[in-house]
Structure 1
């Protein structure tokens, strides 16, 4: 089918990776793909899941399905690992970022 490119910032640098679209299936806002497409292997994604960093949905057959939010989380985890944060620290950072986002949303509701 073709290639797609995704860009994001990592350690202050622009990073672009290319995805073979034939390996990606998009269905109702979720992505099922070869784990290597996000730059980490299957075992690393499973480790992230065991440590509570990811919680992908699953098909009836048990196949992991990653949403855009899951993909964003993986990118954020990669960024934090690259700057030396361990997985326990990453879990705390993600929890704090989520709490901060919820507080900002609540503040926006109260000030509108």
Structure 2
């Protein structure tokens, strides 16, 4: 399938798909004409990429972890022991950021007099 079809099937823009390719997350075949050709595996790959982006990973991290993920019935499962540790560290960073945001919100509430 060509890039437009992949975009339609995944709900991801063609621009984003080109970006994923540039980052090494997708590696479509190229026809002599230069057209990209994607397969069914790319549909699943885009789904995994979107899940990982939504989990707060950047594309460099995703490139690193994709080979260690197993897609079991729509659930992504770490297949490498070090991946689970790295994901736990990412979760800890997110927890810290959430704590900082909650403190910031409380400070703003105090300033504006909103005592929830």
TM-score by structure 2 length?
0.53
Please, what is the CA RMSD of the aligned residues? Answer: 2.0
TM-score by structure 1 length?
0.55
Structure 1: how far apart are the matches of 2:18 and 2:3? 14
Query: Structure 2: 5+ residue runs without aligned partners?
Result: 71-78, 81-116
Query: Structure 1: 5+ residue runs without aligned partners?
Result: 1-30, 102-112
Structure 1: how far apart are the matches of 2:17 and 2:58? 15
> By percentage of residues, which structure has more strand?
1
Q: In structure 2, what is the equivalent of residue 78 of structure 1?
A: 50
Which moves more between the two structures, 89-98 or 56-65?
A: 89-98
* Deviation of the 1:33 alpha carbon: 4.6
1:4-83 matches, within 5 Å, as: 31-34=1-4, 35-37=6-8, 38-83=10-55
> By percentage of residues, which structure has more helix?
2
Q: Give the aligned length.
A: 70
